[in-house]
Structure 1
Amino acid sequence: MKKPDRQTSTLADIVDQFVEEWARNATTSGLAATLGCTELDALTAILTASGRPDAATLWIEDHQHAEPTDCHGHAAPCLDPGPLPHDEHGRYSPIPGTEYPFSISDVARAAVVLLGPDWHAESGSFGVTAIITGPYIGGFGLLVDGDGDLCIEFTRYEEDDWPESPELPDGVESYFGGVFLSEAASASDGLDFLAAQVTAAVRAVTGR
C-alpha cells in the first residue's frame, strides 16, 4: 500500500497504514513481549476492528508465549461484522471470501488428510468441484447439485471390490450418482465437519 500523504490523508488512511504496518508478522516478533496487557488489548482492538483479527491473534500468541511474562491470558479476538454490507444500490455485496470462507476443493483437501497418505485431491475449475482419488480405480467427485446438497459421485469397478450395499453413516444418503450429505449440511457447519462427513462416506462406500 502506498503511504498516505500527511498533508491530504484522512484519519481512515492513517488507520489503514497503521494496521498494515502493525499486522506484519515481522513486527510482532520481539515487540509483543514488551507490551503490557493493557497496551496489547488496545492494539488488538484496533487490528480487530479494522478487519484483521488474524493479526490480532498473532500478537496475542506472541505476547502470551513470551518468557518471562505475567500475562494470564487474552480472549481470542472476535470481529463484530456489524451491518450486512450492501452496495450503493442496496444489493447485498459481501467482500469476496467472507461469505463462503472455503470452497468445495478445500473440503476435498481436508478430507484426504483424514483418509491418509494414499489419497489425493484435485481442484476443479474455480474450486467449485474436486476429485478425490486413492488406492482404487474409481475416484470420488465432490460438487454441489441444484438442490444445494454436497454430493459425492463415483463409479464402481469390479476390481475395486467395494461393497454393493454399504452401510452409510448418519447424515449421508445414496442417490443414482453416488451419495450426498443430507440433513441440510451447509458451509455454516464448518470445514472440519464437512471433511469428516465426506471421509466417513468414502470409507463406507469403499468398505475400508
Structure 2
Amino acid sequence: MGSPQMTREQDLSVRELLVNTFEEVRRITGSPEVELPKPVYSEIANDSDHHRMREGFMEYKTVCFFANFKGKHWLFARGESYGDYPARPFDSDLIAIPIGTAVSLAVTLECIVTEIARGAYFHNTLVCGLTNGQLTARSSSRFLGEPIRSSLARFVEFVSQRLEVDRDIFLASTLNRLTIKAARYRKELVPILAQAILHTLSC
C-alpha cells in the first residue's frame, strides 16, 4: 500500500517557504523585525517603451539586521512581487545587503531605500521564488558563487509537489508555459534553507 498523500497543511507554497525561512533566520539570530515607514522597491523587470511604462518590482515592507553576525553586519529582508506584468513570473525573494560596521538604526533606515534600490535585478537576492513555485538563484546575484546556490540542487528531495505545466499553452505576457500545479515543499526544508543562508552570509 502506498504512502498517504501529503496535505496542504503539511507542505508549503514557495511564498510560505520564504516567509517561514525569514522568520527562522530571525529566530536564530535574535534579530527584531523593523517595519519600514513606507514600502521600498527594487526593480526586477521592465518592458517599457516610448508609449507606455510596464515595470515590475520587489516590494519590501520590513527588514531585520544581524548585529555583528560572524564579524559582518547584514540587512536582511523578504520581498514580494509588485507592479505590472513583467513582475508576474516572480513571487518573492530573500535579500541580504552588507552594511559595514554597526550604525544607529536611524542612520541605517535613511540608507535602506537607496541600498535596496541599488540592488535592482536581484543583485542582493539570496534565493527567489517564482510564481510557478520553483526556487531559484538568480544569475545576477552577488551570491551566485556562494553556498546558497550549491545548496539548491539538494533541495529537490524536499519537493512535495512537482511543477506541472501545460506544454501546449504559453502565456502571452510572460512567454512561460501555463502552470497547472505549482511546486510545493515539505516544511522540513525551512531550517535547512535558513542554515544555508546563514552559512552563505558568514563566508
Q: Give the TM-score normalised by the residue count of structure 1.
A: 0.32
Greater length-normalized contact order (CA 8 Å, ≥ 6 residues apart): 2
Higher strand share: 2
Q: Which has the larger radius of gyration?
A: 1
Higher helix share: 1
Q: Give the TM-score normalised by the residue count of structure 2.
A: 0.33
